[in-house]
Amino acid sequence: MRKDQHFPVLLEEVLQYLNPQEGESFLDLTAGYGGHASEVLERTFSPKKASLVDRDQNAVAFLKEQFKGQAVNIIHKDYLAAAQELNQAGKQFDMILADLGVSSPHLDNASRGFSIRLDGPLDMRMDERQKLTAYDIVNNYSEESLRGIIRKYGEEPRANKITRFIVESRPVRSTHELAAIVARAWPGPKSRAHPATRTFQALRMAVNDELDLLEKALPVWIDLLAPGGRIVVISFHSLEDRIVKRTLNEMAGNRYDASLMLLSKQIVTGSAKEIVFNPRARSAKLRAAAKINTQKKGEV
């Protein structure tokens, strides 16, 4: 992937809330193709204090090349495992960013199986070392479990019918086969999005255990923030945003022991200008908070 093909989402807003200063440390939990990270590091001039995490092998290889010779710490792990490891090592960061979801190369590479548009195997693993694939879920899960996934993660009103059609068509081998089966459950006039969009999203979230990981990881990320440190989380799904909102609000709250201060009281979304050239910005939801320095004067 060429750098000029990738537009980091909500870049202006990310820089506004992270507010990078020279010499500060940075943890990017979903570094992807380094779009946000390179902009932050151009402002901190402190690559040695940066840790970049991604669970995708291709993204990690790209990051290693991009930041070659700069002593950036690049970690090939999921963001919960990476955060736990950094926490155990006693690390703290002035800025933490998580730009959730898939990257453009995931969607543009048919063999990864994320795309409705391109025909490929039913895979959808962000980390290809993992065993569970979309094929396993589509073909081997009980009808009830499959329906639950499509209903819960996809918020799909026709989950019943779609699941029945899928089960009747087993084995389903490719993304195009699956998309055609789901489309049969949506006869009549079509909206702009492909009728299988919600089903694909649900399967992707289940394969990569996205909501559970986010729920467990957020408190660890907040633990990793240095006093005065800023955290920015960008999500693309209402269920993800709900988890981010609830966790940040709980830790901010109007309490004597609040550990966070919300920097964005309302959700921040892409500007009309950005949405025109970066379609990913259409559903991006940003929330930001800062760690309160809880140590009072005179306290040891």
Ligand X SMILES: C[S@@+](CC[C@H](N)C(=O)[O-])C[C@H]1O[C@@H](n2cnc3c(N)ncnc32)[C@H](O)[C@@H]1O
Residues 186-225 binding ligand X (CB under 6 A) are: 213
Sole residue written with tokens 């939990």: 29
Q: Cβ of residue 80: shortest distance to ligand X, in angstroms? A: 7
Q: Which is nearer to ligand X, 217 or 290 (CB)?
A: 217
Q: Cβ of residue 164: shortest distance to ligand X, in angstroms? A: 31
The correct pick among 33, 135, 153, 221 for binding ligand X (CB under 6 A) is 33
Q: Which is nearer to ligand X, 103 or 199 (CB)?
A: 103
Which contacts qualify for 208-215: CB closer than 8 Å, 24 or more apart? Answer: 208/124, 208/125, 208/126, 208/127, 210/100, 210/240, 211/153, 211/239, 211/240, 211/243, 213/78, 213/79, 213/80, 214/100, 214/240, 214/243, 214/244, 215/243, 215/247
Residue 282: partners with Cβ closer than 8 Å, 6 or more residues away: 270, 275
> Cβ–Cβ contacts within 10 Å for residue 3, how many?
11
CA 289, distance to chain mean position in Å, is 17
Q: How many residues bind ligand X (CB under 6 A)?
A: 21
Whether 247 and 112 have beta carbons less than 8 Å apart is answered as: no
The correct pick among 10, 27, 59, 248 for binding ligand X (CB under 6 A) is 59
Q: Cβ of residue 105: shortest distance to ligand X, in angstroms? A: 8
Residue 81: partners with Cβ closer than 8 Å, 6 or more residues away: none
Q: Which is nearer to ligand X, 3 or 184 (CB)?
A: 3
Choices 18-26, 30-38, 111-119, 180-188 (CB under 6 A): range interacting with ligand X = 30-38
Q: Which is nearer to ligand X, 55 or 151 (CB)?
A: 55
> Cβ–Cβ contacts within 10 Å for residue 198, how many?
21
Q: Does 54 bind ligand X (CB under 6 A)?
A: yes
> Cβ–Cβ contacts within 10 Å for residue 20, how many?
20
Rounded Cα gap, residues 84 and 221, in angstroms: 9
Sole residue written with tokens 């703290």: 92
Q: Which is nearer to ligand X, 68 or 297 (CB)?
A: 68
Q: Does 30 bind ligand X (CB under 6 A)?
A: yes
Q: Cβ of residue 14: shortest distance to ligand X, in angstroms? A: 8
Q: Cβ of residue 298: shortest distance to ligand X, in angstroms? A: 40
Rounded Cα gap, residues 108 and 118, in angstroms: 8
Residues 110-169 binding ligand X (CB under 6 A) are: 126
Q: Which is nearer to ligand X, 51 or 103 (CB)?
A: 103
The correct pick among 20, 34, 195, 270 for binding ligand X (CB under 6 A) is 34
Q: Which is nearer to ligand X, 20 or 35 (CB)?
A: 35
Q: Cβ of residue 256: shortest distance to ligand X, in angstroms? A: 33
N-term to C-term CA, the chain: 50
Residues at the site binding ligand X, with contacts judged by CB under 6 A: 6, 8, 30-36, 53-56, 59, 78-79, 99, 101, 103, 126, 213
